[in-house]
Amino acid sequence: MDRWYIWFKQLLIFISRFLIRSIHLIASLLPDFEYDIFISYRHNDNLFDGWVTEFVTRLQEELAATIKERLSIYFDKNLRDGLSDTALVAPSLEHRLRAFILIPLISQTYCDTERFSWKHEFLPFHQQASHDRLGLYLRLPSGNVGCRILPLRIHNLDSSDVHLLETTLGGHLRTIDFVYEDLGVNRPLRAKDDELPRPTGGLLYRNQINKVANAIKELVAAVKQPAPFVSPAVFGAPSILPLPTPTTTFPVAVPAAAPSLPPPPSAGPVVFLAWTSKELAARREELALVCTKAGLQVVPSTDCPLDEEEFRVRTQEAAAAATCAVHLLGNEFGRRFEEEEDCSFPMFAYQEARRLAATRPAFRQFIWYCPDEALAVKPAQKTFVNNIRNELTERCTFTSALSAMQLVQDLRSTLSQASPPPLHLDKETDIFFVYNQLDSEEANEITDRLSEEIPLELLIIEPNSEDLYKEITVRTIPKSKLAVVYFKHSADWALPFVKQIWRLVGGAGSSTPILFVGEDEPVHNRLRTFKAPRVISCIQPHQGVSEEVRRIFQQVDARS
């Protein structure tokens, strides 16, 4: 029995080795290349659990489901691929390095200038690709630029390793990460981790494999289009990302003053998407992709620098080149500055954008507060968020959007609103008070109290007939000093109604602010808020509604 088991095990090993080798036998898509993809890695990263072998297998499967053509992958499973002691390394590897794409698996031990993978794979490919007919960088169909070196990070790296990579590549390191995210752990993410409980915001192996396949697909598409190549004089473009702004340069040794790439012709507004705390890195990446698909250009397009001074400079450059700023805030305060512990990286970005907003009337800020409800918000972060709420202006929107898609829709809607000079219309009404007939009893009590001091114009909307009243509402709001949309039992009507009305009266350019106010009972009303420029949204107890309306009106009246 044992003999048959050993024989069967050896047969499986032989078959697996044959299949891995067969990957090498597929012809490259491009006639002047030996392989489509060359996997460069340290063999000790494959010894413990065969991580690299499994990665190559799963990548091949994902590519088959992503790209119509079958791509050839060179994966050296054996140490030095059978090179004898008398073999000449450079000539023996030269034909194998003639690949379209290099995927280096960046581990804790990869960035060693004396090691085989660095000396005889990474550096030679970089040199070779920089001077072949394609060049190292390709113009993608989207108009962005892709690099034929596609780094994958499988460990958290020392700063010295990051510096070596950035110096060699001539720009900030941009990787697709396969690092298991947990405190005190530094190991590669495994496929089976997707089936286990994972840290909040942790990466999914399946998603990361898909990102690699999609990045490769874009590079393949680049060589199929007319004139896909980028001039050799242009260096440092990040891999599969929006182009840097003209104030951001990524120099490579020669020439020192490389011209910057122009943005794609179809690029829309520029969004400064501030770097976040580590917990929200994956969500920031998702938001960046949604923004790009929506026609928005996102800056900065690189990973957050480790050096504090460099972080400050890059943040200021990106914010200065942007139309608006988006800040993601969660449970964590984020990395603090060494000499200024009360300030975190996300706080610095917010303060810098706020400073710009004070001098540029068209500049807008969006705060996306998306904490994990299952975890406590750190005290420093809670204070920071409360301070932001207390200093909100009409050009700073605080939102708890449920998804990146919803946030981008709101962002585009706000940015697309024309911002004409304030209209100096004669205001015929002090307060235009709108409510649903379902809330008549409570609304009558509130308006009775208000009408003792302030003239009101009321509009009562019958259930399921709001469309009949939109024209009246849109016509009356600009003639009022303050518009109020009130709800208690009609929350399902009130929220979509106020969003539609806000857009119809000019959104951020409206001459009349809207107070969207609801009562705190029933409990689900507390979730019905709408944050947008020229909208004040709040939930109050019944007795507090009239006081809040009176307070807001006094502020508006004092400014008019």
CA distances from 117 to 66, 403, 530 (A): 28, 41, 55
Residue 345 falls inside a structural domain: yes
In the chain, the amino acid numbered 347 is M
Tokens of residue 258, six digits: 């490389």
Residue 543 falls inside a structural domain: yes
Structural domain boundaries enclosing 395: 270-416
What per-residue confidence (pLDDT) applies to 9?
56
What per-residue confidence (pLDDT) applies to 520?
92
Together in a domain, 205 and 290: no
Together in a domain, 101 and 171: yes
What per-residue confidence (pLDDT) applies to 272?
93
Question: What is the number of structural domains in the chain?
Answer: 3
Residue 6 falls inside a structural domain: no
Rounded to 10 deg, the angle between the 51-66 and 2-25 helix axes is: 50
CATH number for position 458: 3.40.50.9100
Together in a domain, 281 and 213: no
Together in a domain, 440 and 309: no
Together in a domain, 400 and 433: no
Together in a domain, 65 and 180: yes
CATH number for position 169: 3.40.50
Together in a domain, 60 and 204: yes
CATH number for position 380: 3.40.50.10140
Residue 455 falls inside a structural domain: yes
Together in a domain, 380 and 433: no
In terms of phi and psi (left: phi > 0; alpha: psi -120 to 50; beta: otherwise), the region of 143 is left
Residue 322 falls inside a structural domain: yes
> Distance (Å, rounded) from C-alpha 62 to C-alpha 208?
11
Together in a domain, 74 and 200: yes
Together in a domain, 357 and 400: yes
What per-residue confidence (pLDDT) applies to 16?
52
In the chain, the amino acid numbered 201 is G
For the beta sheet containing 99-106, the strands, ordered from the edge strand earlier in sequence to the opposite edge, are 73-75, 35-40, 99-106, 152-153, 176-177
> Distance (Å, rounded) from C-alpha 157 to C-alpha 107?
7
Residue 234 falls inside a structural domain: no
Together in a domain, 175 and 129: yes
Residue 84 falls inside a structural domain: no
In the chain, the amino acid numbered 34 is E
Give the end of a domain, one of 365, 391, 416: 416
* DSSP-assigned letter for residue 398: E
Q: Which residues of the chain have pLDDT under 70?
A: 1-28, 77-95, 143, 199-201, 226-268, 416-426, 463-468, 560
Instruction: For 521-555, give one letter per residue: b (16+ CB within 10 A) or e.
Output: eeeebeebbbbbbbbbbebbeeeebbebbeebbee
Helix boundaries (H) for 306-365 = 308-320, 345-359
Give the end of a domain, one of 383, 416, 449: 416
Any idea which residue has 């520029």 for tokens?
Answer: 270
> Distance (Å, rounded) from C-alpha 481 to C-alpha 423?
12
Together in a domain, 74 and 186: yes
Give the end of a domain, one of 416, 445, 466: 416
Residue 22 falls inside a structural domain: no
What per-residue confidence (pLDDT) applies to 433?
94
Residue 23, φ and ψ in degrees, nearest 5? -60, -35
